[in-house]
Structure 1
Amino acid sequence: MNALISKVLHEAIREKFWYVAEDSRGVSRIFFDSGAGSLVLKSAHAAIEHASRLSSYGGGGFPDSQWVDDIVAQARTAVADLINAPSPEQLFTGESATAVLRRLAEAILPALPDRSRILISATDHNANVDPWRQTAAVLSAKQLDVQLVRFDPKTGTVDLNHLESLADPRVRVVAVAHASNVLGAENPLREIRQLLQRAAPDAWLIVDGVHFIPHGPVDVQAIGADAYVFSSYKIFAQRGLSWAYANEAILRLPHYKLTPAPDRPPESWEWGFRNPADFAPIIEVVDYLAWLGRECFPIAASETGDRRRWVRLGQQAIRQYEHELVRAMLDGVEGTPGLRALEGVTLHGISEPEHYHLKEPTFSFTVAGWSSEDVVAWLWNRHRIAARGGDHYALETHRQLGVRESVRASLAHYNTVEEVRRFLQALAELLAEKVRA
């Protein structure tokens, strides 16, 4: 077990989540589908249940309404701690990351000079591709130039040489994922920011953090993000609320709002008042990460410090533990071969140990002679392993890979090396069967 997360601590972590070892029907299973939505913290679920009892709308002068306002404020503060945002007032919400990114595109692109260039990435979910392409098409008179940046097939990260060849002073937006939801590789955001400072100093860096957010520390100030978007349901809460950090210049851009709605951000960016039951669970998520930081770094956590520091330590502990899962999946466990060694499996993205440090525990692959749907059905029917097949809404990623779909096993820190071993054994059993036509 990991030096920071002991076996006893990991058992305590698993106990904090719903359905970590069984599904909602009580069927024992292995959950390797966190990329589609993480398991939910029990404390986050309890917060949802409590907050959902209130029908009050914020902004009133009575206790229930004031409580709603307080929960919303606490949630913004918690998210500021989670991603090291300069201020909670720079965080607005939407019903999904797709909607929030579209909202950003519709505000940013009209404000750009004609013939500006927008760079999007082949590592990205279409939620951070289509808003830029489609909004640019609507604004056809501005002749905006949208270009796709390739990824390096060895690392699954943005090809910096290709990015540099496209970057010039015309570039005003670079939209890129913090980590690919297919390749599971962390993009070098700080290096991208430095490249843009040299070649495209007026460019805004718009980051889709949806896939990365449960896997490690996020510091929007350190990476130089001008906007950063993620969803609560990918980080141990529930569907229905996504978050966006934006710099002051973006927040001041003209954007759609109802006339009587507040003129000041973040409320001016939000369409209708949000459900307090959507805000309450993220507070519990951030408190959980702080708890994990204190458990893993008791000396540091006992010193004077605020929640932001403890949250970051918790995120670091998760990242270190998940690197063990990466090594186990790729290299194998106790004589069970890893994905790299399985004949008939084509692994997409990182496969060499020198790049393991860039990888989240998300593994996409294809199996010769099998469709992705058949593989995931076989894994479930034979071994009760929940994985996912398809294009994962990342069409450009699969297009560059030269395949239409892939099998994806996506893990989180509540998974175990033993679960990885069982998955690898199941996959080896599948490969031993007659190859399907």
Structure 2
Amino acid sequence: MLQETPGLIDAIRARFAHVESCPFQGKRIFFENAGGALTLNSVVETSAKFAAIPDNQGRDNTASHALVDIIDKAKSDLSVFMNASSGQFFVGESGTELLFRVIRTACVNAPKGSKVIGSSIEHPASRSAARRWAEVAGLNYVSVPHCDATGLVTAEDYGALMTPDVSVATILHGSPVTGMGMDVAAISRAIRDVAPDCFIIVDGIQHAAHGQLDIDSYNVDGYAISPYKVFSRHGYGIAWISDRLTAQPHDQLIDAPTDGWEFGTRDTGAYATMSDVVTYFDWLGSQLSDTTDRRARIEVAGHAIHAYETHLTSAMINGTGNLPGLRDMDHISILAGPDNPAREGLISITVRDLPSAEVVTRLNEQGIRTHTRKADHYSGNVLTPLGLSDCIRISLCHYNTEHEVAQLLAALNDMAN
């Protein structure tokens, strides 16, 4: 694991900007990664470099040709990173915007009167898009209820409501509220067993930073990520779509190539920073394996990230050193339970007799950055059934340390009343 390789955690942290301090607040511990992960130093440098370049793609000059090559390289890098042997990648405004576009296209091309299926655990990025475009396209929306106790929706849950007339399906890969990862491949199989031609679109925004991405194994038609949550920067999203979804009639310019899904001139720097992200995963895998295969190194990195983050969340839940864990603090309640193997680097809690916003403020005053999730249009689908108006989200990534976990536990332990 990462912590067992001498010097590796320090080497990892050295590759990220603002690991230990905020440019506005000063020294702090960053447990707000689900709101946006730390940014690679290489991404910062690449962003500055491309912000200064005046040329665009599609022109007959040396700079333009170079920009096209950089974009092509990034798409190739993404196909290795996400293990997509077919289909295409493209950039949009954000992960949410891309989910809306892809889901809209699937819905408006579906047979009238057919069904769209999704789950109640989903982030509104996919759930709102599916419900809106089902209504516009004259489709029937089917909601698969998630389990409040585990924070999960399963293949069996989908299978129980599947019928052959389901034409579009949405799946959440990782929940930004419960922190649980769904078994996308199993859910996809349950859908295709009943409706083999269904278009399946996955929200991978929360999951992407926490382990494997393996599109070929999912048998889906769309997958979207937000790069600022996987060590790149704000301002764009990345989508992958299958060849058959690519070929569906979709929004595009008159007489434009039928396989084009992007609008206007894209930011070459956005693509280039994704190459930086893939290079980072490749580097991390090379520190843990002697394999010369790039995809294999990326897989090694993904498994190591997941294992280390499980180690950190276990320390948070069960305690570290002489500090009690969250499960042993009587004033703390853990959403989706303390013993949940689906957890991916995120724990949401409540503190007895303290509003979550006050807890977040008190932690922030001690230099520990967390976040309040409220029972609003973002998180009400998860919190309201639990009878909660809010919770505290503690989200980490593989550059966090057990020492930082200990400082959080000490601060929360002191809030007993």
Q: CA deviation digits over 1:105-139, x for unaligned, max 9? A: 22111111122121222222110110111112223
Aligned-partner Cα distance in 1 for 2:142–2:106: 17
Aligned-partner Cα distance in 2 for 1:154–1:74: 44
Instruction: Say whether 1:130 aligns with 2:122.
Output: no
Aligned-partner Cα distance in 2 for 1:25–1:152: 40
8 Å contact from structure 1 (residues 185, 350) kept in 2: no
The alignment-based identity, stated in percent, is 29
Instruction: Say whether 1:163 aligns with 2:163.
Output: no
8 Å contact from structure 2 (residues 148, 382) kept in 1: no
Q: CA deviation digits over 1:272-301, x for unaligned, max 9? A: 11111211111111001000001011x3x2
What amino acid sits opposite 2:307 in the alignment? Q
Q: 2:232 aligns with which of 227, 231, 237?
A: 237
Q: CA deviation digits over 1:6-41, x for unaligned, max 9? A: 241110100110010111147111000000100000
Aligned-partner Cα distance in 2 for 1:44–1:12: 16
Paired residue total: 415
Aligned-partner Cα distance in 1 for 2:353–2:322: 26
Q: 2:316 aligns with which of 325, 329, 347?
A: 329
Q: Equivalent residue for 2:402? A: 417
Instruction: Say whether 1:33 aligns with 2:16.
Output: no
Q: Equivalent residue for 1:22? A: 21
The SS at the match of 1:255 is coil
The SS at the match of 1:269 is coil
Aligned-partner Cα distance in 1 for 2:320–2:6: 17
Q: Equivalent residue for 1:52? A: 51
8 Å contact from structure 1 (residues 205, 226) kept in 2: yes
Q: Equivalent residue for 2:280? A: 288
Q: 1:216 aligns with which of 211, 216, 219?
A: 211
Distance 1:333 1:188, change over 3 A: same
Report the TM-score when normalising by structure 2.
0.95
8 Å contact from structure 2 (residues 117, 144) kept in 1: yes
Aligned-partner Cα distance in 1 for 2:18–2:135: 44
The SS at the match of 1:422 is helix
Aligned-partner Cα distance in 1 for 2:226–2:158: 27
Q: Which moved more, 1:192-201 or 1:68-77?
A: 192-201
Report the TM-score when normalising by structure 1.
0.91
Aligned-partner Cα distance in 1 for 2:6–2:269: 33
Q: Equivalent residue for 2:88? A: 90
Instruction: Say whether 1:408 aligns with 2:400.
Output: no
CA shift at 1:399, angstroms?
3.0
Q: CA deviation digits over 1:204-243, x for unaligned, max 9? A: 2211000000100110111222211101101101011211
CA shift at 1:197, angstroms?
2.7
8 Å contact from structure 1 (residues 123, 176) kept in 2: no
The SS at the match of 1:108 is helix
What amino acid sits opposite 2:267 in the alignment? N
Q: Which moved more, 1:145-154 or 1:272-281?
A: 145-154
Aligned-partner Cα distance in 2 for 1:219–1:279: 20
8 Å contact from structure 2 (residues 17, 40) kept in 1: yes
8 Å contact from structure 1 (residues 350, 359) kept in 2: no
CA shift at 1:413, angstroms?
0.3
CA RMSD of aligned residues (A): 1.7
Aligned-partner Cα distance in 2 for 1:258–1:3: 48
Q: 1:263 aligns with which of 232, 241, 257?
A: 257
CA shift at 1:257, angstroms?
1.2
What amino acid sits opposite 1:263 in the alignment? P
CA shift at 1:152, angstroms?
2.3
8 Å contact from structure 1 (residues 94, 241) kept in 2: yes
Q: Equivalent residue for 2:247? A: 252
Aligned-partner Cα distance in 1 for 2:228–2:101: 20
Q: 1:113 aligns with which of 94, 111, 114?
A: 111
Q: Equivalent residue for 2:297? A: 310
Q: In structure 1, list runs of 5 or more residues that go unmatched.
A: 433-437
8 Å contact from structure 1 (residues 179, 212) kept in 2: yes
Aligned-partner Cα distance in 2 for 1:332–1:296: 27
Aligned-partner Cα distance in 2 for 1:375–1:7: 35
Aligned-partner Cα distance in 2 for 1:147–1:431: 43
Instruction: Say whether 1:368 aligns with 2:381.
Output: no
8 Å contact from structure 1 (residues 126, 395) kept in 2: no
